[in-house]
Structure 1
Amino acid sequence: MKIALVGCGAVTQAVYVPLLSRRRDLFEVTAVCDLSQTLADAVGDRLGAPGRYTAVGDMLEAGGFDAVLMLASGSHGEPVRQALAAGYAVLCEKPLALTRAEVAALPEGRLMVGYMKQYDPAVRRAEELLAELGGPGVIRSVEVTVLHPSGESQLAFANLTQARDVDPELLASLREAENGLVSQALGESAPDEVRALYGVALGSICHDLSLLRRFTGSPAEISHVETWGAAPGSVEISGPLPAGGRFGIRWHYLEDYPAYRETVVIHHDRGSLELVFPAPYLMNAPTTLTVVSGAGAESRTEWRDVTEAFEVQLAAFHAFVNDGKPPLTGAAGALEDIVTAQRIAARFAVQHDLQIGGEAA
């Protein structure tokens, strides 16, 4: 399948370039696009892509591919809209967009939203075990803890090519447009602390929201939100689960913490399912699933699989485009996460008597 890449930054260089290089049985990259010509050329050279662009519209008009991988940072709503309108299938990295309106404006088309943790073999095994136990109704609680060091420290091994050739005025205009989308989501008067929380929810905590969607369904209510520490700081979120039980998420940005660590524990009446995720940029580092069970005597069984979740996700996109196999998350699931992030921001604003408007109101 011939594909084009939009965005040649950190995730593309550290994750997608090596995976696409070793999965040439599935994909041929024919075009790449980035605001930086330096990055477009660097990624294009590594993947042997003849097309090098700095504008999405130019790349889509030139064509020569079947599908687009949308890997740039920020909101993907408008470039995804353009790609779908041009008839291309799209794999879009999270978040799909920053507003509900952007999702509503998308035309019909083949769209898959990338939450690679949903494709992690340990997560799929946990889903199977939960189904054997009786499904979401048996869950007493889901407890999530994320220890998040700086992105620079997580990617120090990757020897990334840096972009220093993008017009500062262009970057400023893009930031202004993105601030406008956040204002549409939260209201013009939403203060910085609410905006920062929304950014964390859609930029990082959304991975855990995507797991809640798979395990229990999206939470319909947010009971409590608190933040502390210098932004992005720490975030605590809790509320009821759709089928009973409650969830709690504690997310901590710890700049100099030794390594990224994410733990998701599902407690039920007869034991627990515990998932421990490694740093997402380390290829084939296994997630550990620990199954705790036993009546009167504890039994702990660990399960690991070194199959790379990002690679499984890419193969799933290939199957979606070529065989029609539905993805785990499409536009509807991505919209649920946007709505949940807006509920998180709104609950925090109400608790602290802060301004909230826009879609979140």
Structure 2
Amino acid sequence: MSTRLALVGCGAVTQAVYVPLLSRRRELFEVTAVCDLSRTHADAVGERLGVTRRYTSLADMLEAGGFDAVVMLASGSHGEPVRQALAAGYAVLCEKPLALTEAEVAALPEGRLMVGYMKQYDPAVRRAEEILAELGGAGVIRSVEVTVLHPSGESQLAFANLAQARDVDVEPLRAAENAILDRALGERASAELRSVYSVALGSICHDLSLLRRFTGSPVAVDHVENWGGSPGSIEISGPLPVVGRYSIRWHYLEDYPAYRETVAVHHDKGTLELAFPAPYLMNAPTVLTVVSGAESRNEYRDVTEAFETQLLAFHAFVTSGKPPLTDAAGALEDIVTAQRIAARYAVQHDLVLGGEAGER
């Protein structure tokens, strides 16, 4: 059964990832509408997908209808546009982060919502989950150690020949985003505190989503440090919910040659290590290295694209009701963890903190 989709947000991830994937899975998806604040972006994506119904207003698109589901791909907080789409009765796939505040999630109506964390659908991650379950689950983990080397977005997407838009005034968008951050962190929150929080929900949330799959969300945040500029480098650590500890080291390295992310799960009998490539490179395999007794090392890799598997899961969710790996509750757990990160950083550095995070 083909699902008719409306795409909201026609920027980098849409052009580099979703357009190619939807173009090759036309037996399952038909894009019937696209929407972006930029007419340039909407036209670029509309041309590539053969879509004539192009909007610069979400309200106009939702009122016109003609689709079964909405894929929310715009940047920033998605709380309000997702609320509008759910209220209009559409199923929604929302790219992370779902929102920046708990209040935005609480305001969402009942409906069919899937939150996209594509790494959860990576075949190497699913295999690691299976192996961990065979070993005894979260109770055998000693530590989870994450390292992210993050070059500039421009360098990661240089290959994609993206359409550039200069027909949108970004200042009102920044003001609206800052207003939401005010509710999350308080109006007096410093620029560095806002940067740490934004990185936590914009990038580190992928690693939080993996922790949710492997161990459950962290129960606390013991230590947070930020150095080397803004966003610079961020270090986070604390206890896992069952046993053991986690550590995350995230480094923005503008001129680093290529994105690299490693997640090592050390357990009683060895290590499961995942090495992720740049997320925008289609069908580039994540490598799972399994280290066990007597120095045995085995590698697992699969070129199945995680973004594509996520889309297939959304199709199953819309057509047959199969639950997604992350819904609003899972996304809310990541927001709470990000606010705990901000709260710990504020305490360590004697920074003013208010809003929702001030209550953590």
**Fold conserved between structures, TM > 0.5:** yes
Structure 2 partner of 1:36: 38
Residues in 1 aligned to 2:330 and 2:310: alpha-carbon distance in whole angstroms: 16
Instruction: Give the secondary-structure state (helix, strand or coil) at the position aligned to 1:146.
Output: strand
Residue 135 of structure 1, CA deviation:
0.3
Residue 269 of structure 1, CA deviation:
1.3
After TM superposition, what 4+ stretches of structure 1 lie above 3 angstroms from structure 2?
none
Residues in 2 aligned to 1:337 and 1:235: alpha-carbon distance in whole angstroms: 17
- Tell me whether 1:236 sits opposite 2:235 in the alignment: yes
Deviations 1:199-255 (A, max 9, x none): 100000000000000000001100000010011100000000000000000000000
Structure 1 partner of 2:347: 350
Residues in 1 aligned to 2:136 and 2:73: alpha-carbon distance in whole angstroms: 37
Structure 2 partner of 1:173: 172
Residues in 2 aligned to 1:175 and 1:270: alpha-carbon distance in whole angstroms: 48
Structure 2 partner of 1:155: 157
Instruction: Give the secondary-structure state (helix, strand or coil) at the position aligned to 1:137.
Output: helix
Selected match of 1:325 from 322, 325, 335:
322
Residues in 2 aligned to 1:70 and 1:344: alpha-carbon distance in whole angstroms: 26
Instruction: Give the secondary-structure state (helix, strand or coil) at the position aligned to 2:356.
Output: helix
- Tell me whether 1:311 sits opposite 2:313 in the alignment: no
Instruction: Give the secondary-structure state (helix, strand or coil) at the position aligned to 1:358.
Output: coil
Residue 50 of structure 1, CA deviation:
2.0
Residues in 1 aligned to 2:322 and 2:52: alpha-carbon distance in whole angstroms: 30
Structure 2 partner of 1:340: 337
Residues in 2 aligned to 1:125 and 1:52: alpha-carbon distance in whole angstroms: 40
Structure 1 partner of 2:54: 52
AA aligned to 2:48 is R
Residues in 2 aligned to 1:87 and 1:172: alpha-carbon distance in whole angstroms: 31
Structure 2 partner of 1:265: 264
Q: How does 1:167-316 map to 2 (within 5 A)?
A: 168=169, 171-294=170-293, 297-316=294-313
- TM normalised by structure 1 equals 0.98
Structure 2 partner of 1:127: 129
- TM normalised by structure 2 equals 0.98
Residues in 1 aligned to 2:322 and 2:125: alpha-carbon distance in whole angstroms: 19
Residues in 1 aligned to 2:77 and 2:9: alpha-carbon distance in whole angstroms: 12
AA aligned to 1:351 is Q
Residue 174 of structure 1, CA deviation:
1.9
Structure 1 partner of 2:99: 97
Instruction: Give the secondary-structure state (helix, strand or coil) at the position aligned to 2:335.
Output: helix
**Structure 1 residue ranges without an equivalent (≥5):** none
- Tell me whether 1:110 sits opposite 2:112 in the alignment: yes
Residues in 1 aligned to 2:5 and 2:53: alpha-carbon distance in whole angstroms: 11
**Structure 2 residue ranges without an equivalent (≥5):** none
Residues in 2 aligned to 1:243 and 1:55: alpha-carbon distance in whole angstroms: 46
Residue 49 of structure 1, CA deviation:
1.2
Residues in 2 aligned to 1:41 and 1:187: alpha-carbon distance in whole angstroms: 38
Instruction: Give the secondary-structure state (helix, strand or coil) at the position aligned to 1:238.
Output: strand
Instruction: Give the secondary-structure state (helix, strand or coil) at the position aligned to 1:30.
Output: strand
- Tell me whether 1:66 sits opposite 2:65 in the alignment: no
Residues in 1 aligned to 2:64 and 2:330: alpha-carbon distance in whole angstroms: 31
Selected match of 1:86 from 68, 85, 88:
88
AA aligned to 1:65 is F
Instruction: Give the secondary-structure state (helix, strand or coil) at the position aligned to 1:178.
Output: helix
AA aligned to 1:138 is V
Residues in 2 aligned to 1:353 and 1:172: alpha-carbon distance in whole angstroms: 30
AA aligned to 2:162 is L
Root-mean-square deviation (CA, aligned residues, Å) is 0.5
Residue 111 of structure 1, CA deviation:
0.2
AA aligned to 2:338 is A
Residue 104 of structure 1, CA deviation:
0.1
AA aligned to 2:239 is P
Residues in 2 aligned to 1:219 and 1:269: alpha-carbon distance in whole angstroms: 20
Residue 172 of structure 1, CA deviation:
1.5
Residues in 2 aligned to 1:228 and 1:56: alpha-carbon distance in whole angstroms: 39
Instruction: Give the secondary-structure state (helix, strand or coil) at the position aligned to 1:188.
Output: coil
Residues in 1 aligned to 2:265 and 2:40: alpha-carbon distance in whole angstroms: 45
AA aligned to 2:84 is Q
Instruction: Give the secondary-structure state (helix, strand or coil) at the position aligned to 2:139.
Output: helix
Residues in 1 aligned to 2:189 and 2:45: alpha-carbon distance in whole angstroms: 38
